[in-house]
Chains A and B, each alone.
Chain A
């Protein structure tokens, strides 16, 4: 068994943020991810909002980590070459009673340290958010809210961590853990891909964090899946709003939002529904109706006909605040569980907190002489001007070989994505946007399959949407 200092279980935004933070130090670190690619769990259906820190209880851990994470994400997005757009958010009020709640929200958020908050009136909204419902009388404006691509963020964190020595083991499902108390030293971790030995374990297993925790005998929390359905609108509607639009939050959800995304497509959602299954990502007709009518209450011109895609995600809900702690009963085991909203925002702050917990519990953190802070930004034709595209095509002709015409993705971007780790069609989609436009891959799927075959040596029958069991075709008539 290969020995490690820290094994991180789970390759979502939490696991990769922690890995990137730990990669500053002279440590042997690995991420174990059960899916074929990183970000295929909770992170892939994240809304991509970097929250300012509003709408959190004053003394909550998640509120504190969210405010800190917002500032850290800005800095790290520059280091890692990913777009972070500070678009700002508006929490809207429809009547005088609502307006009073805005004041309360503002006070609570200011106590948490959220900067530059202001309550804006109808006149301000008319100028700055013209498509907002005329019935909105005021809003709490939080200018520090931003957007990022949640999956590209995970891939960029992982890539940077990897360049600093972190190992990533995908399709590696943890099945059994022998605790340190039993082995008298390191944990022994048995997986679908063999054994690992490690002094410390960080459990960032998202929806399955309770199952992993139970493997070392800690079972005092339960993760429940809370389903959220989201609906993407055509890119033509990119500027339907200028800000992220929130209704007033209810007790257990932020409600249905109108979201701007890094990819340009506005998104409406999510719903919030407790479900029994941790794998079923079904959308429903009721969900669509509810989201559409709730979104139209905020922005009446949103049209159901503009929906080009929808999906559901599961939030890992613990029923309370984030659970981030060292487990004294299993020394060396750190739980990072129940990380639902604002987990994406809080992730870098969570990573700092976890490295602190590791240090406090005996891990020596010695800085590496050379730490690669920066990651080279890759080009995406969809978000650069044509003049820049022209320059790229001159440099590499493959930028002029357009594979996905709806989203203008070139063969060069696809091969780059595969070289950087994409193994499946969804992996290519998340990294490049190919197949995520209006035609949903009708025109480009065969070409993408061919590029995957060429780059990886896979047979067409081995190519999957998102890992084993999701093969695209059943038989190759030319070979079988």
Chain B
């Protein structure tokens, strides 16, 4: 088994910031495991601007923002990067098993930082009844299809929920020539950033329905329409208010869940409702030496804040490793 001082799982904004700061805090032997073929994580598909305002005092796109960190990491001999490497097992004594094409490796670390990000809630998690045709996408998948693959998922879109990715994708679809017919939000205001509501929805005259929800998705092979209903202050349907919107695509943007299945496997205490590690202090978990940062620790609104707080995780891990000697 290979032994390392620090293993960081995830090469998105959180993992990269943690790696850089751990190195600056004196850790000399860092392994960064990234499951994709590039560093940068979700930033790669975020081609819109709005990144870096807090961190660099500049307005950057997602890939530009990510690249600032990639450049720094690539210049650091203390940080070994292993791409296409998926961690499949983590134990409480900090042994990790990861798989990449051709190789399964076990590595034992003095400290581990988990920067595994989050996943989007699905239609199933909010229990929207109806059929299961093609044309139902998470906002993030639609973003990847358009921005990375150059594919247009649909032409008449209804966005469910008004999370930031949903708002940004409403604009993105509009710019691609698709028609965004509605954003449906069950709360009385958007859960996204104010600037996104203004720049992505209001500026493009996209109708947004607050206190409404999708009653049913219809369509045999492809989405054909959704049935929408108004809800009262207790979120109960007001049946007389229901109406239909024809569309070929439903975009789900109803929240994010930290991806913490690996630390759960290791025995870290997890809050069942939020899927976050139970913790009194930022980046810490119930197992000393296993840290968790970025969106896997808690859902952040801005990548800039992920970078800032994950840098703290790098320092904490460095201190922990020093304390072992």
Contact = CB atoms under 8 A, between A and B. Distances in A.
B101 interface: yes
Which 3 A-B residue pairs are closest in the complex by CB-CB distance? A397-B102, A469-B221, A465-B134
Given A309-B124, A386-B89, A474-B154, A442 B138 contact: yes
A379 B26 CA distance: 44
A295 B140 CA distance: 33
A283 interface: yes
Interface stretch (A106-114, A123-131, A168-176, A433-441): A433-441
Nearest to B144: A446
Given A282-B131, A397-B103, A400-B104, 5 more contacts: A386-B88, A393-B104, A398-B101, A446-B141, A469-B220
Contacts of A398: 101
Contacts of B99: 389, 393, 400, 402
**Residue from B134, B153, B272 whose CB has the most chain A CB atoms within 10 Å:** B134
Contacts of A469: 220-222
Interface string B122-148: 111101011111100010110011101
A439 B120 contact: yes
Contact of A442 (B122, B153, B216, B264): B122
Contacts of B273: 305
A85 to B, nearest CB: 23
A476 B124 contact: no
A42 interface: no
Contacts of A327: none
B185 interface: no
A420 B132 CA distance: 25
Contacts of B155: 474-475
Interface in B245-296: 248, 261, 264, 272-273
B133 A465 contact: yes
Given A282-B131, A440-B122, A397 B153 contact: no
Interface string A440-480: 11110110010000000000110011111111111111100
A288 B119 contact: no
A353 B321 CA distance: 70
A13 B153 CA distance: 34
A459 to B, nearest CB: 10
A478 B150 contact: yes
Contacts, number: 136
A273 B111 CA distance: 55
A311 B217 CA distance: 13
A311 B153 contact: no
Interface in B145-170: 145-146, 148-155
Contacts of A28: none
25 contacts: A236-B261, A236-B264, A279-B220, A282-B130, A282-B218, A283-B129, A285-B129, A393-B104, A397-B101, A398-B101, A400-B100, A402-B35, A402-B86, A402-B88, A439-B138, A442-B141, A445-B145, A446-B144, A464-B134, A466-B221, A470-B222, A471-B134, A474-B155, A477-B150, A477-B152
Nearest to B273: A305
B33 to A, nearest CB: 12
B92 interface: no
Given A474-B153, A477-B150, A405 B86 contact: yes
A284 B264 CA distance: 32
A287 interface: yes
B119 A393 contact: no
B97 interface: yes
Given A311-B132, A401-B84, A475 B152 contact: yes
B269 to A, nearest CB: 15
Contacts of A466: 134, 221
A269 B145 CA distance: 34
Contact of A386 (B104, B123, B130): B104
Given A280-B131, A438-B119, A460-B151, A389 B221 contact: no
A476 B132 contact: no
Interface string B209-230: 0000000101011100000000
Interface in A397-447: 397-398, 400-402, 405, 408, 438-443, 445-446
B149 A446 contact: yes
Given A405-B35, A470-B134, A472-B134, A439 B122 contact: yes
B127 A474 contact: no
A413 to B, nearest CB: 13
Given A393-B102, A442-B120, A446-B145, A408 B129 contact: no
Interface string A303-318: 0110111110000000
A303 to B, nearest CB: 8
A279 B150 CA distance: 33
